Structure 1
Amino acid sequence: MQHNREAFEPHTCLWIGASWTKMARRPIRYSRSLSLDHYRASEVRGLLNYSLSCCVNALLQSFSATTELLDILKKLHPSDKTGRNNIPLQLKNTLCAMRNTSNPEPHRYFLDCLYSHTIRRFTQQDADEIFHIILNLSQNQMPDQDLAQEIRNLYDIRMETQVMCSECTYVQRVPSSSFSLPLAIFEGVNTLESCIQSFFQRQNLLDGDKCYCDRCGQKQPSTHELRLVSLPQILCVHLKRFRNVGGLTRKLYSRVTFHETLNMGIFAAEGQSENVVSGSPQADENYRLYAVIVHIGFAMSGHYTAYIRPTQDLTWYYADDSTVHPVSWANVQNTYEGSETAYMLLYRKMSRNAPGEL
């Protein structure tokens, strides 16, 4: 859901949704608090806003901080099967160019490539949806299937849907996977852990929600639950802040707290251990937060920015299109609630050989 405040077309206004957006071209500028040497060392750079591209810009900042993704893309070598409209190739070129301060518009061809596929210019975008589109296109257009599988494995959260008939206890199992964990949030105060536990909570399906039981041969009252099968190296969490009420989309500004580290051992807590499929070895993994995609504003009139922490240092940076500057963890925590709220959280699995990181 993107309604950016600034874009490439000079001094024009665009009507989208229920409000006007001013679009003005602005040059790259760097915060005075961020020296050029520090900027080069951190590999963090601003990105110009083209055609309301703040959503893609914020996601590119998170991809740039995901060094594992670039390591995979670097194995891709251009051939007759790749070209200007090839997403993985253009993503690779963009992430490499973002590490080169001499290129004033490292993402321009990538944006053009996206627009040539399914992304429309000057329209509102949802960051989680664009995140999935980019990763799916990167897989589908990758000429090397082994590399395509590496991309999937990097982000793929594998789960199993289990529907149990309340009459005969027959269980139907359906495997599923996703590049992000879509967590519902509720009015009031939430914690990331409570949202995760709610996502995997068993639900009773009664009356109109009854499910067909193959053993009974008819619809029966049932229970429905998701169980975790495996976790990826990069764990993306999507905080579902947009809700449809009476045909209108509204944003939830509820407080959602999260920490810099996340221990998936919460599934082993009382009443939660059944949420892990038997034999799953990854239920007690430790993760460290390294990127936060932020949505600013309202459901139909908003803007995306990003907080990122590069792998080579422990400094957090705030990227608002072409503006980048260092911030503190307290600044990141300001996204718990309010108009500038965390929308996507990206965690990296921590090495078991480095327990001191916690």
Structure 2
Amino acid sequence: MSSGSGIFMGSKAKSCVCHVCGLHLNRLHSCLHCVFFGCFTKKHIHEHAKSKRHNLAIELMYGGIYCFLCQDYIYDKDIEIIAKEEQRKAWKMQGVGEKFSTWEPTKRELELLKHNPKRRKITSNCTIGLRGLINLGNTCFMNCIVQALTHTPLLRDFFLSDRHRCEMQSPSSCLVCEMSSLFQEFYSGHRSPHIPYKLLHLVWTHARHLAGYEQQDAHEFLIAALDVLHRHCKGDDNGKKANNPNHCNCIIDQIFTGGLQSDVTCQVCHGVSTTIDPFWDISLDLPGSSTPFWPLSPGSESSVVNGESHVSGTTTLTDCLRRFTRPEHLGSSAKIKCSGCHSYQESTKQLTMKKLPIVACFHLKRFEHSAKLRRKITTYVSFPLELDMTPFMASSKESRMNGQYQQPTDSLNNDNKYSLFAVVNHQGTLESGHYTSFIRQHKDQWFKCDDAIITKASIADVLDSEGCVLQGQGPLTAAPPVPIWEAPAPDDLL
């Protein structure tokens, strides 16, 4: 929007007051015959209508049309159509336009509703939404991520409310359409394991590096799936005004995209160069990798046994995040041209979170690949059920001196807290292993998903697991549970 149009809109907003008393309260109405604004409660709009014989006015809060001859609000179909179109234009201008239309049941859906009139109430032990997935040949890496995605609250609510409208020329090749069908399958109430053959085929088609029946990396599949979903989701034409660093308002970017701030500081003039890049996940180094790790707990030791790296002592997810956001000296071999000094100088680089996503994905880098080394890092990393990301924000007031971290004295921001709802685990070695996942069904109910088998799990089981991908959702945007029906527990639920 140009600055001129912004000033024009501002002047229009200021004119929306009663032309008699100057107030914008008291049920403000606008005359439909001229530019007069008058309040209804103090009868200023009535006086105008009587003196000018302008008998129609619109109420500005809800859009009702008032007739002073009838002395009542009236309904006109043509005006209603115009009002809806203008409202749609206003939403689009603000970047909040609704893309979906009102649901009109088909003949088949009407028949289904006719023969299925009963509604069941939700119960605390409801298991609808829990469904196993058949392993199609080393596809456990896909199954565990699908379980995590189908139990992402906002993504679930998006697909179950039929918000997706396919705009691809061939809907059969649209991964978003397949995900929509997958959500319907998961929440249909069926208990038999689902066979995700079409999903696998589409992933192979659009992410060819994952094609084949070899063991793949679950984190790599997650990023590939988000990328394809992002490409197949066509955002609104006004997407550049969306509130995320990727300038896209598709459902994937609205939920998963955050902004990572990189500050490069010149060691000579102390000038700072800042860039902000979008991210879908945060990849964290672990103790025991070839990358120097800071800090290690006192008394920790590292060893390699059978191609696996082991570190004694305790490491937390917070430790990994502290290392991720601590200043790093780039050294003399990586000098950067300083815009202040106009010459190449040594510098430090620090990463912080400029904007947090609604759903945060943390990737613990357990697989290390290099020219000389291929191994799995089995270091235990403890993680909490709730994580506060405030200390790692760009706007945070935490001090970091000499690599040390100091907790702020004021209370932390609840907006930056995440609640854990999915954990992906890998058992075995780099060459031969198996993926499983823990997902949260209700607030305190956890289940282990091992391909076709779903079993109950305790919070202790979740927190004691190794973890390689962790997902959490922020509280302010957490969606309420969708309406679901009471269903008996599947036979494979203990």
TM-score over 0.5 for the pair: yes
Report the counterpart of residue 204 of structure 2 in structure 1.
Answer: 115
Report the counterpart of residue 49 of structure 1 in structure 2.
Answer: 135
- The whole-number CA distance in structure 1 between the counterparts of 2:388 and 2:368 is 28
Post-superposition offset of 1:102? 6.2
| Partner SS, residue 84 of structure 1 | helix
Report the counterpart of residue 243 of structure 1 in structure 2.
Answer: 368
Identical pairs, percent: 25
Report the counterpart of residue 321 of structure 1 in structure 2.
Answer: 451
Report the counterpart of residue 301 of structure 2 in structure 1.
Answer: none
- Contact between 2:283 and 2:365, CA under 8 Å: does it hold in 1? yes
Q: Deviations over 1:15-60 (max 9, x none)?
A: xxxxxxxxxxxxxxxxxxxxxx998634111100013211110001
1:197 is aligned, of 310, 322, 340, to: 322
Report the counterpart of residue 168 of structure 1 in structure 2.
Answer: 269
C-alpha change, 1:254 and 1:269, in structure 2 (3 Å) is farther
C-alpha change, 1:193 and 1:42, in structure 2 (3 Å) is farther
C-alpha change, 1:210 and 1:352, in structure 2 (3 Å) is same
- The whole-number CA distance in structure 1 between the counterparts of 2:470 and 2:131 is 20
Residue 320 of structure 1 aligns with an amino acid whose one-letter code is D
* Structure 1 spans left out of the alignment, 5+ residues: 1-36, 276-280, 336-340, 354-358
Residue 418 of structure 2 aligns with an amino acid whose one-letter code is Y
Report the counterpart of residue 175 of structure 2 in structure 1.
Answer: 87
Q: CA RMSD in A?
A: 2.8
C-alpha change, 1:40 and 1:51, in structure 2 (3 Å) is farther
1:306 is aligned, of 433, 437, 447, to: 437
Q: Deviations over 1:169-192 (max 9, x none)?
A: 222211112111111111333111
1:129 is aligned, of 220, 227, 232, to: 220
Post-superposition offset of 1:313? 4.5
Greater relative CO, 1 or 2 (CA 8 Å, sep 6+): 1
- The whole-number CA distance in structure 2 between the counterparts of 1:167 and 1:80 is 53
Q: How does 1:176-187 map to 2 (within 5 A)?
A: 176-187=277-288
Post-superposition offset of 1:125? 1.6
| Partner SS, residue 216 of structure 2 | coil
Which has more radius of gyration?
Answer: 2
Report the counterpart of residue 88 of structure 2 in structure 1.
Answer: none
| Partner SS, residue 196 of structure 1 | helix
- The whole-number CA distance in structure 1 between the counterparts of 2:130 and 2:150 is 8
- Contact between 1:260 and 1:289, CA under 8 Å: does it hold in 2? yes
Residue 284 of structure 2 aligns with an amino acid whose one-letter code is L
Report the counterpart of residue 416 of structure 2 in structure 1.
Answer: 285
| Partner SS, residue 167 of structure 1 | coil
Residue 340 of structure 2 aligns with an amino acid whose one-letter code is R
**Bigger proportion of residues as strand:** 1
- The whole-number CA distance in structure 2 between the counterparts of 1:60 and 1:198 is 30
- The whole-number CA distance in structure 2 between the counterparts of 1:102 and 1:307 is 18
Residue 174 of structure 2 aligns with an amino acid whose one-letter code is N
2:399 is aligned, of 262, 271, 277, to: 271
Are positions 1:330 and 2:418 aligned together? Answer: no
- The whole-number CA distance in structure 2 between the counterparts of 1:221 and 1:235 is 33
- Contact between 1:94 and 1:106, CA under 8 Å: does it hold in 2? no
- The whole-number CA distance in structure 1 between the counterparts of 2:235 and 2:347 is 43
- The whole-number CA distance in structure 2 between the counterparts of 1:291 and 1:210 is 41
| Partner SS, residue 250 of structure 2 | helix
Post-superposition offset of 1:158? 0.8
- Contact between 1:292 and 1:342, CA under 8 Å: does it hold in 2? yes
Q: Deviations over 1:222-266 (max 9, x none)?
A: 010112111111111111112235532211111200111111233
Post-superposition offset of 1:314? 1.9
- The whole-number CA distance in structure 2 between the counterparts of 1:284 and 1:193 is 18
- The whole-number CA distance in structure 2 between the counterparts of 1:117 and 1:241 is 26
Are positions 1:209 and 2:366 aligned together? Answer: no
- The whole-number CA distance in structure 1 between the counterparts of 2:461 and 2:164 is 37
Residue 186 of structure 2 aligns with an amino acid whose one-letter code is M
* Structure 2 spans left out of the alignment, 5+ residues: 1-122, 240-247, 289-310, 407-411, 479-494
Post-superposition offset of 1:323? 0.6
- The whole-number CA distance in structure 1 between the counterparts of 2:167 and 2:397 is 51
- The whole-number CA distance in structure 1 between the counterparts of 2:193 and 2:366 is 34
C-alpha change, 1:148 and 1:53, in structure 2 (3 Å) is farther
- Contact between 1:140 and 1:148, CA under 8 Å: does it hold in 2? no
| Partner SS, residue 299 of structure 1 | coil
- The whole-number CA distance in structure 1 between the counterparts of 2:259 and 2:448 is 31
- The whole-number CA distance in structure 2 between the counterparts of 1:167 and 1:313 is 52
- The whole-number CA distance in structure 2 between the counterparts of 1:181 and 1:165 is 26
- The whole-number CA distance in structure 2 between the counterparts of 1:61 and 1:352 is 21
Residue 270 of structure 2 aligns with an amino acid whose one-letter code is T
| Partner SS, residue 226 of structure 1 | strand
C-alpha change, 1:174 and 1:192, in structure 2 (3 Å) is same
Are positions 1:256 and 2:381 aligned together? Answer: yes
Residue 137 of structure 2 aligns with an amino acid whose one-letter code is S
- The whole-number CA distance in structure 1 between the counterparts of 2:192 and 2:263 is 50
Residue 296 of structure 1 aligns with an amino acid whose one-letter code is Q
C-alpha change, 1:330 and 1:104, in structure 2 (3 Å) is closer
Post-superposition offset of 1:80? 5.5
C-alpha change, 1:140 and 1:178, in structure 2 (3 Å) is same
